[in-house]
Amino acid sequence: PQGAETTVGAARAETIADLMTPPVGVFGPQATVRETTEALREQVKTAFITYLYVVDPANRLLGLVVMREMLLAQPDATLESVMLRDPFALKADLPLGEALKQALHKHFPVYPIVDAQDRLVGLVRGSDLFANRAIEISGQSGSMVGVDKEERLGTSLTRSLKLRHPWLQVNLLTAFVAAAVVGVFEDTLSRLVILAVFLPVMAGQTGNTGCQALAVTLRGMTLGDVKPGAEPGMVRKEGMLGFLNGGLVGVTAGAGMFIYARMQGEASPLTMAGVVFLAMLIACTVSGIAGAMIPMILKRLGADPATASSIFLTTASDVASMGIFLTLATLML
């Protein structure tokens, strides 16, 4: 196995065919173990052969022979009699992410690749596939905040700047939306400056609740845990968690507001605490639902579900948290 090599540039592959090498160790079903062994003796001089592949005259993959069976078989036995039938194979046009999911629990050193007619068209080394997978998955938390999966520690400063900067400008535009919402309530804020002090608390807390929902949902998608039809249940669960977490955190945050408002000599500290509690409860529910739905929507639109998901989520949760907080304050105070 020490002969295995990792394909340089594999990180940029998009379908399984991009990682493929031509098939080697291919034989007919009637070849005997003896004649196959003799043929192999020549072939190994120029190729790295791990398994043997048995194909019919139309090149359709019939089976796979492991070397151990070759060693232990009678020399006159045919390959057909020692092969594993219907071996696991990957389709050549599979997107890489899908191929990785299918291969995750196999971990074979080499995978055969077949076309739509089950014809053997190539081989892919597991090390290439999985080096790729680790690189792919580990890029997810970056993707969420607008870091391209291409960026690694060795990426130059100017290239990093070029890759990351556009998303920061997008983030700024979405932040302006949140600012516009706050701007609507300038009158309330000028009347009660204490509310401005609690704006970052509301926004930060709601955002983090939503990020938890987002991370769990994305992870489920990555590991292939999401069963068809499971989406509504996931959204409901995250909404309920947002409600419960928002309620519990709302109690602490409301207590914080009560103490601070009393210290500042505000007129109605208890009502203020109530506004904080209620806003936290509602905003965290909204943010939990948004955290679960955003990657699902991105996926349905054909995009990578992680891409900039955190930026979209922050916008939703900023608008919800500060909008609800200031609306309630305007109505109740």
Restricted to residues 104-133, the positions that interact with its own copies (CB under 8 A) are 104-109, 125-127, 130-131, 133
List the structure tokens of 27.
């034989």
Among 16, 121, 203, 294, binds its own copies (CB under 8 A): 203
Residue 23 Cβ, how far from its own copies at the closest point, in Å? 16
Among 151, 296, 299, 304, binds its own copies (CB under 8 A): 151
List the structure tokens of 88.
């696991």
Residue 57 Cβ, how far from its own copies at the closest point, in Å? 25
User: Which residues, including other chains, have CB under 8 Å from residue 316's CB and lie 6 or more apart?
Assistant: 210, 286, 287, 290, 294
Q: Is 40 in the site for its own copies (CB under 8 A)?
A: yes
Piece in contact with its own copies (CB under 8 A), picked from 54-62, 265-273, 295-303, 309-317: 309-317
What is the residue type of 302?
A: G
Instruction: Tell me how far apart the alpha carbons of residues 62 and 53 are, in angstroms, rounded to a whole number.
Output: 8
Beta bridge partners of 78: 32
List the structure tokens of 327.
């609306």
- Looking at residues 266 to 295 of the shown chain, list those that interact with its own copies (rule: CB under 8 A): none
Instruction: Tell me how far apart the alpha carbons of residues 69 and 33 are, in angstroms, rounded to a whole number.
Output: 10
- Looking at residues 174 to 193 of the shown chain, list those that interact with its own copies (rule: CB under 8 A): 174-176, 178-179, 182-183, 186, 189-190, 193
Q: Is 234 in the site for its own copies (CB under 8 A)?
A: yes
Among 82, 293, 311, 328, binds its own copies (CB under 8 A): 311
Q: Is 63 strand, coil or helix?
A: strand
Residue 314 Cβ, how far from its own copies at the closest point, in Å? 6
- Looking at residues 60 to 89 of the shown chain, list those that interact with its own copies (rule: CB under 8 A): 66-68, 70-72, 84, 87-88
Residue 313 phi/psi, 5° resolution? -60, -45
Instruction: Tell me how far apart the alpha carbons of residues 55 and 118 are, in angstroms, rounded to a whole number.
Output: 10
Residue 179 Cβ, how far from its own copies at the closest point, in Å? 5
Q: Is 29 in the site for its own copies (CB under 8 A)?
A: no
Instruction: Tell me how far apart the alpha carbons of residues 327 and 184 are, in angstroms, rounded to a whole number.
Output: 10
Instruction: Tell me how far apart the alpha carbons of residues 105 and 87 are, in angstroms, rounded to a whole number.
Output: 15
Among 16, 90, 120, 253, binds its own copies (CB under 8 A): 253
Q: Is 216 in the site for its own copies (CB under 8 A)?
A: yes
Among 256, 266, 304, 333, binds its own copies (CB under 8 A): 256
Shorter beta-carbon distance to its own copies: residue 22 or 183:
183
Q: Is 330 in the site for its own copies (CB under 8 A)?
A: no
Structural contact between residues 289 and 239, judged by C-beta atoms closer than 8 angstroms: yes
Instruction: Tell me how far apart the alpha carbons of residues 149 and 227 are, in angstroms, rounded to a whole number.
Output: 26
**Around Cβ 21, how many Cβ atoms within 10 Å?**
15
Among 137, 271, 296, 299, binds its own copies (CB under 8 A): 137
Shorter beta-carbon distance to its own copies: residue 201 or 333:
201
